């Protein structure tokens, strides 16, 4: 695609990997000028697009010809929490097939890990303890509830189904998915969680999703249920989760995202025997694939079309 005359400024991954962005964009587009965020030769009034994967302060407000912002990831909270962000600019979320695939792989790994109590087995190895623990159920007798049926949630649900799990889902607006019970809105969260032996959080951070998994809602889940959270950390009230794990109300948790990242050294999740911690690594996509996605989004905007996965401020995601 020809994007002659446009200048894209990139803040994602840092200068050491910038050449990968240059290669990816060269493959996907002709004429698009791609420059690194801290390149001192870039004049603010030449910048027409930005690709931003981390907080950048107020700099975005200083580009008078900016047409749109591409988020380096699926979430946009690193952008929208900046008060100087110009409200009229379209923000496009990163939603490539690779993001959905890698997130689905992580969710499958986490669900199987909870099913076979992988955390217990890992701790046994650390202690050099022979622990002939066998699970009590299979994927076919385990109900997995996916919170969030968007780009990632729908793909993860199908991958879980492929492993044999009984799957169902919950979202804000009602979805129709073949052979699948779906639940919608806060009013149906209770029956959804009550039917989830494992609940998987794939929700964005919004006021409505913050603290949704807390003592009140954990009490709706089956005794000994598991929790996976790979959406945003604000979903889970950590003290309530730890209390539920400590008393056996919940059986285990796999957490990839946290309210404060990197996770502080004194956070209780690091050492909890029923919690597996990963460092916000559940989903990723190659720079080549993300560059092609950005170029397609630019082309849609230039045609006057609305690109898919546009952030809608009224909805909050």
Tell which one of 202, 245, 291, 294 touches ligand NAP (CB under 6 A): 202
The DSSP 8-state label assigned to residue 213 in this structure reads B
What is the arrangement of strands in the sheet containing 68-71, beginning at the earlier edge strand? 33-36, 7-11, 49-52, 68-71, 91-92
Residue of 93, 119, 151, 232 with catalytic role: 232
Map the footprint of ligand NAP across residues 97-116, applying CB under 6 A. 99, 103
Closest CA to 317 of 206, 175, 227, 223: 206
* Interface segment toward ligand NAP; rule CB under 6 A; list 40-48, 84-92, 170-178, 238-246: 170-178
Taking CA atoms, 285 is separated from 170, 200, 241, 288, in Å, by 25, 21, 30, 8
Per-residue binding letters, 276-305, with ligand NAP (x by CB under 6 A): ----x-xx----------------------
Q: Which helix (H) or strand (E) holds 191?
A: helix 189-194
Instruction: Report the nearest approach of ligand NAP to the CB of residue 12 (Å).
Output: 14
Closest distance between ligand NAP and the C-beta of residue 278, in Å?
8
Residue 47 CB, shortest distance to ligand NAP, in Å, is 26
- Considering only 232, 272, 287, 290, the residue that binds ligand NAP (CB under 6 A) is 232
- Please identify which residue in 256, 274, 293, 298 interacts with ligand NAP, judged by CB under 6 A: 256
Least CB distance from residue 123 to ligand NAP, whole Å?
24
78 is catalytic: no
Q: In angstroms, give the least distance from the CB of 128 to ligand NAP.
A: 32
Nearest by Cα to 277 from 239, 212, 233: 233
Asked if residues 177 and 166 have their Cβ atoms less than 8 Å apart, the reply is no
Q: Which of 69, 218, 230, 245 binds ligand NAP (CB under 6 A)?
A: 230
Q: Which of residues 133-162 bind ligand NAP (CB under 6 A)?
A: 148-153
> Segment 33-72, which members bind ligand NAP (CB under 6 A)?
none
283 versus 297: smaller Cβ distance to ligand NAP? 283
What pairing do the DSSP bridges indicate for beta strands 7-11 and 181-184?
Answer: unpaired
Q: Is 280 a catalytic residue?
A: yes
How far from 147 is each of 51, 72, 143, 203, 260, CA to CA, in Å?
A: 28, 23, 13, 6, 21
Of the candidate residues 74, 159, 236, 294, the single one contacting ligand NAP (CB under 6 A): 74
**164-174 burial: b if 16+ Cβ within 10 Å, else e:** ebbbbbbbbee
Nearer to ligand NAP among residue 163 and residue 208 (C-beta): 208
Grouping H, G, I as helix, E, B as strand and the rest as coil, residue 250 is strand
- Taken as a whole, the chain contains a residue count of 317
> For the chain, percent helix, then strand, then coil, each to nearest 5?
35, 20, 45
Task: Find the binder of ligand NAP among 92, 257, 275, 294 (CB under 6 A).
Answer: 257
Which positions lie near ligand NAP, rule CB under 6 A?
A: 73-75, 95, 99, 103, 148-153, 171-173, 202-204, 206, 208-209, 230-232, 256-257, 280, 282-283, 317
Which residues have a catalytic role annotated?
A: 232, 280
């Amino acid at each position: 695609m020809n994007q002659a005359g446009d200048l894209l400024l990139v803040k994602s991954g840092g200068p050491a990997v910038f050449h990968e962005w240059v290669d990816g964009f060269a493959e996907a587009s002709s004429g698009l000028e791609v420059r690194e965020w801290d390149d001192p030769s870039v004049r603010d009034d030449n910048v027409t697009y930005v690709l931003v994967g981390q907080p950048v302060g107020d700099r975005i407000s200083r580009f008078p010809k900016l047409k749109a912002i591409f988020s380096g990831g699926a979430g946009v909270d690193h952008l929208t929490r900046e008060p100087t962000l110009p409200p009229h600019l379209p923000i496009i979320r990163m939603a490539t097939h690779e993001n959905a695939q890698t997130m689905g792989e992580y969710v499958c790994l986490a669900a199987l890990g909870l099913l076979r109590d992988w955390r217990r087995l890992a701790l046994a190895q650390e202690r050099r303890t022979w622990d002939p623990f066998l699970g009590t159920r299979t994927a076919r007798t385990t109900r997995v509830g996916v919170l969030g049926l968007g780009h990632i949630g729908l793909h993860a649900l199908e991958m879980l189904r492929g492993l044999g799990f009984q799957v169902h889902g919950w979202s804000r607006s009602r979805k129709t998915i073949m052979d699948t019970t779906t639940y919608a809105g806060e009013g149906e969260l209770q029956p959804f969680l009550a039917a989830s032996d494992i609940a998987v959080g794939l929700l964005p951070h919004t006021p409505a999703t913050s603290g949704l998994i807390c003592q009140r809602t954990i009490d709706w889940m089956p005794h000994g249920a598991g929790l996976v959270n790979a959406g945003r950390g604000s979903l889970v009230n950590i003290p309530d989760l730890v209390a539920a794990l400590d008393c056996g109300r919940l059986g285990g948790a796999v957490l990839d995202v946290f309210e404060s990242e990197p996770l502080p050294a004194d956070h209780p999740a690091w050492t909890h025997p029923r919690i597996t911690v990963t460092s916000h690594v559940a989903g990723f996509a190659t720079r080549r694939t993300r560059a092609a996605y950005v170029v397609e989004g630019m082309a849609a905007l230039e045609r006057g079309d609305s690109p898919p996965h546009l952030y809608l401020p009224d909805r909050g995601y």
